[in-house]
Amino acid sequence: MPSSVANVLVGVCSVKFDDVDLGWTSDGVTMTVTSELFDVKVEEVIGVLDRVVTDQSVAVALNMAEGTLTNMSTAIPGSVLDSVANTLTVGGGVLQSGTLTLVGKNPAGKNRTIDFHKVNPTGEVGVPYKKAEISIVPVTFSALVNPADGKFLTVTDATT
């Protein structure tokens, strides 16, 4: 199962989940694309004639620089944020689902926007609380494919 890992945004970038501004990352963004392939073979020929993609998955990992309740509720699968009581509960909630937009710099230093059709938070979340250190919120989002066109995301680089 081949996979490709790329540092698609260098440095900090802005994060929006379902059009809610989550602030900035503390560093770059890593995207992993995993593809399952089928080797096409026939008895008459030794070797692989062709390869066909049979399945794909896309995940993006980032560290949100602000340890807010909103950011934690976005990162922790099934968590529930009560903004009136200013509380976050973990457990008993439904898996969050929404669009994801990341805006930052590409490796060449130009503006890059990555728009995901739909994602779910799927990774482990460990938020450190240490004296005189910021509490970053690590999050991994797994992309869902758009059933209308079969695409997970769109990456757009600025031309200037």
pLDDT at residue 42 in the model: 94
Q: What pLDDT, on a 0 to 100 scale, did the predictor assign at position 118? A: 97
What pLDDT score does 92 carry?
83
Domain holding 64: CATH number?
Answer: 2.40.30
The residue among 7, 116, 24, 6 whose CA lies nearest residue 65 is 24
Q: Are 109 and 125 in contact (CB under 8 A)?
A: no
Tally of domains in the chain: 1
pLDDT value of position 106: 85
pLDDT beneath 50: ranges in the chain: none
Which tens digits make up the pLDDT trace of 46-79? Answer: 999 999 999 999 999 998 888 888 888 888 898 9
What is the domain extent for residue 122?
3-157
